[in-house]
Structure 1
Amino acid sequence: MVRLPLTPAEVERGQRLGALLRRARGERSMLATALDARVSPETLRKIESGRVATPAFPTIAAIADVLGLSLDAVWAEINRPGEDAVPEPAGLGERRRVAS
Structure 2
Amino acid sequence: MVRLPLTPDEIERGQRLGSLLRTARGERPMLMVALEARVSPETLRKIESGRVATPAFPTVAAIAQVLGLSLDEVWAQINGATGAEDPRAGASSLVAG
TM-score norm. by structure 2 comes to: 0.86
In 2: Cα distance, 1:86 partner to 1:44 partner:
27
| 1:42-94 alpha-carbon deviations (Å, 9 max, x no partner) | 0000000000000000000000000000000000000015x25263349xxxx
Q: How many residues align?
A: 89
Counting helix residues as a fraction of each chain, which structure ranks higher?
2
| Counterparts in 2 of 1:61 and 1:67: CA distance versus 1, 3 Å | same
Which residue number in structure 2 is paired with residue 46 of structure 1? 46
- The answer as to 2:16 corresponding to 1:16 is yes
Is there any run of 5+ residues in structure 1 with no aligned partner, and where?
91-100
Max radius of gyration: which structure?
Answer: 1
Asked if the contact 1:10/1:54 (under 8 Å) is kept, the reply is yes
In 1: Cα distance, 2:14 partner to 2:31 partner:
20
Which residue number in structure 2 is paired with residue 60 of structure 1? 60
In 1: Cα distance, 2:88 partner to 2:4 partner:
23
Identity of aligned residues (%): 78
Which residue number in structure 1 is paired with residue 2 of structure 2? 2
SS at match of 2:6: coil
Q: CA deviation at 1:13?
A: 0.3
In 1: Cα distance, 2:83 partner to 2:21 partner:
21
Which residue number in structure 2 is paired with residue 97 of structure 1? none
In 1: Cα distance, 2:21 partner to 2:2 partner:
28
